[in-house]
Amino acid sequence: MTRIEYEGRLFIDGAFREARSGRRYDVINPADETAVASAADAGAEDVYDAVTAARRAADETTWGTDHKFRRHCLEQLQAALRNDVEEFQKLVTAEAGVASSVIVTHVDRMIDGMDFWNDLTTSFMWEEDLGPYELLGMQSDRRIRYEPYGVVGAVTPWNAPFMTAIWKVSHAMATGNTVVLKSAPDTPLTAAKMAQVISESTDIPAGVVNMISSQDKAIAGDALTGDPRVDMFHFTGSPGVGQRIMERAANGIRHVVLELGGKSANVLLPDADLDMASALGVGMCMSSSGQGCALPTRMIVHADIYDAVLQRLESMVSYLPWGDPTDPTNVVGPIIRAEQLERIVGLVDRAQDAGARVLCGGKRADRDKGFWYEPTVLADVDENAEIAQSEVFGPVLSVIRYDGDDNEAVRVANNTRYGLSAYVQSRDEERAWRVANRLRAGTVNINNSFYLSPDAPFSGWGISGVGSEHGLAGFRDYLRIKTVASPTKA
């Protein structure tokens, strides 16, 4: 088979180049441990160059004020991405191991979702008059203006390299910002290909978008967050790294938006449709090999239906198709890397030691190559156990039994430091709404529904983050607010 030659250089100030050090590193396919391609290994000096380019484009061009031109550029980008959609699909599966059965949600639907932000570029009320107000003997008209922060430092995770990159790049651009995007070390090729599309198929000016890859996330990340010329940080990843970014952003009081993972509860009330709730719970938890921040990894089940649900879960997950992520019949693909696989093994082994019961799976898969863990269901999990409180990021579903009324269900669901997403299953929709309204999470899904859409704000509570992504709220999070007063005209 002919190996595809993927772009892996840095994209700085409208041009591709190698890292100043000349270093490169291999990007590994998690399914078979082959090298997909190699990528430039940026150092602090390369990050400095990228920020310099973004700063110049923000300060010395009309990018931030020419809304019509920005929309034109974004629509060019959207059309070009659509033309290359199959190549992006293959690349995301190759470098991130995302199963082709769900790749449409990672790529195609994200390109479609650009419509909302493209439209906001020109339809948003960039200025708003408040009218006259008298104070201290002065009659003043007031006008509110929304203006871009300037330079956005964006950092994406490895589990959804296209999805998170297109969100951050297109959202930063739509609001008039310039951006330096640092991709995860495991998945730099998607961002590099996106830069290739920008370079070849759009009129986006040099310096507006800059793409950085680095084998050591700390070196490039610290260079980016330590540069005072960056006005705002937009990060998706772990709470630990998010906290460090927030601490470093405090130097200069820079704005941050953080989406930091979750341990989402899926509450099955006693009147739930068990077939639908079980199938939905399995499908959503195991989607993308369980490597998703908003997936329902804690199933909280009432005692009256507990045994019936466990029977369904064991049957479904035992026969859940997994393996080669290029096979569209497989639901679960590989784990991203060996270290993450070892982490999952440790979490599940300790869960068993703490009293959890393995219904199916519970061990690494027997394969010669790649990083594989069998789809797993753990029953009789204590709500305070490590496995119930830690984000696993693997195909592991923890089932927690509760007795009592809906108040107890809400208490158990809210017994977490996270608050990214939550799920409620009940045949009584009003009852489900009552529970949903009490769950401490930024998004809640009732029965067979899912929040993810370009116009719906996505935000985390607790250690799941600050600020919003998507929707009008997410658009405004990229903008400063300025109020200008002038004498009221007679």
486 burial level (CB within 10 Å; 0-12, 13-18, 19+): exposed
Contacts of 388 by beta carbon, 8 Å cutoff, 6+ apart: 263, 298, 381, 382, 398, 400, 416
Q: Which amino acid is at 110?
A: M
Q: CA torsion angle for 349, 354, 357, 362 (degrees, to 10)? A: -10
Q: How many CB atoms lie within 10 A of CB 12?
A: 25
Distance CA 103, CA 191 (A): 16
Distance CA 49, CA 63 (A): 19
Catalytic residue IDs: 259
Residue pair 480/144 in contact by the 8 Å Cβ criterion: no
